[in-house]
Amino acid sequence: MPADLNGWNNKNNNNKFEPPKFEPPKFLKSGGNIIIGILLVIFLIFLFRPWVIINEGEVGILSTTGKFSAKPLEPGMHFYIPLIQKVIIVDTKVHMITYKRSPETGSMPDRYGTIRIYPAINVLDARGLPIQVELSVSYRLNPEKAAYVIKTYGLNWEDKIINPIVRDVVRNVIGKYPAEEIPVKRNEIAAKIENSIREQLDKIPNKPIIFESFQLRDIILPENIKKQIERVQIAKQEAVRAQYEVLRAKQEAQKEAAIAQGKANAAKIEAQGKAEAKLIEAKAQAKANELISKSLTSELLKLKQIEVQGKFNEALKQNPNVKIFLMPGGVVPNIWMNVENGKKVISNAKN
């Protein structure tokens, strides 16, 4: 048998058990303590993870034995001392609080907690009537004041700063208006709420909150107020319609009057034109008569007498029974009558 087995047998024969001795490898004998130390350090590093990665839209607050560092840690990788230090990551992206009566399905806060949904704000109007208001407010944390906010208000700073201010401002503003005026003055109310929220946030020491936007979504009035407002709106519409009808009738009357006036003016102008035409014609006739009278010389009159005398002579030849009347003043006779047939023939010097 081999020597070791013989030894084993001899030991068994002597009723004594001695296991074989373990000897570490040679490479461990030389630097074993160093390797073990390195492995221990690696284990502790992965166990405590003394580093933190901060993303965009976030800042880190370094706490050393419970005291916050005023300067925030910017996005990137940062190391700290475990058990003595820790880093609190705070979101600086835009957050939103929405107040509504019944949140829709799936409208829960997002994974980063930047969207919060609260019940609609209950408000009393100027006469004590209950009103519900739905609105949204957008804001974000000032990165430079993150340590101050967490130290002063804690991680739930939104419930301690934003929510109380919004509710208080909405109640104070809307509480000054009667319910009937609220729908009409909606824009005015929204502007006052937004300005008041901004002013209240600016009053906070160090101004840690940056106000982004405000939206007045809906104002829910009591049913009796809604019906009353509807009646008032209907009455106003009827009044406007009546005013429109009166105005239209007035315009129609003015139109008819203008047409009549136009016709009268046209008739007047036409009559004036005719009168002026007759006057011009009369003046022309008078001028013509004046010219004719000036053109009647004694020689021309004698010529006319001769012409008329010739006509009478021709008439006497054809009808010797004609009666001739002489005109006074020595004028050539210019009237004759046929005795036989009783017909009267008139002639004058001009003919």
pLDDT digits 0-9 by tens, 33-54: 677 777 776 766 666 678 889 9
Residues 316 and 282 in one domain: no
Token pair recorded at residue 62? 């370094």
Q: Whole-model pTM?
A: 0.55
**According to the model, what pLDDT value does residue 8 have?**
45
**What percentage of residues in the chain have a pLDDT greater than 70?**
74
How many structural domains compose the chain?
A: 4
More confident residue, 151 or 36: 151
Please tell me the distance from the alpha carbon of residue 336 to that of residue 330, in angstroms, as a whole number: 16
pLDDT above 80 for 116: yes
Residues 215 and 103 in one domain: yes
Q: What value does the mean pLDDT take over residues 171-182? A: 91
Instruction: Please tell me the total number of residues recorded for the chain in this structure.
Output: 351
**According to the model, what pLDDT value does residue 16 have?**
52
Which segment, 151-155, 166-170, 264-268, is predicted with the most confidence on average? Answer: 166-170
SS3 state at 130: strand
Asked whether residue 351 is assigned to any structural domain, the reply reads no
More confident residue, 115 or 191: 191
Asked whether residue 87 is assigned to any structural domain, the reply reads no
Torsion on CA atoms 64, 67, 71, 73, rounded to nearest 10:
40
Residues 111 and 189 in one domain: yes
Asked whether residue 285 is assigned to any structural domain, the reply reads yes
Each residue's pLDDT tens digit, 309-332: 777 777 777 776 666 655 555 555
Alpha helices in the chain (DSSP H): 3-13, 26-48, 146-153, 157-160, 162-174, 186-202, 223-295, 298-318
Neighbours of 247 (CB within 10 A): 10
| C-alpha gyration radius of the chain | 62
Query: What is the domain-level CATH number for residue 142?
Result: 3.30.479.30
State which residues form the domain around 312.
298-346
Give 163's pLDDT tier (boundaries 50, 70, 90): very high
Asked whether residue 63 is assigned to any structural domain, the reply reads no
**According to the model, what pLDDT value does residue 245 have?**
80
**According to the model, what pLDDT value does residue 29 have?**
53
Residues 100 and 206 in one domain: yes
Give 136's pLDDT tier (boundaries 50, 70, 90): very high
Each residue's pLDDT tens digit, 242-294: 888 888 888 888 888 888 888 888 888 888 888 888 888 888 877 777 777 77
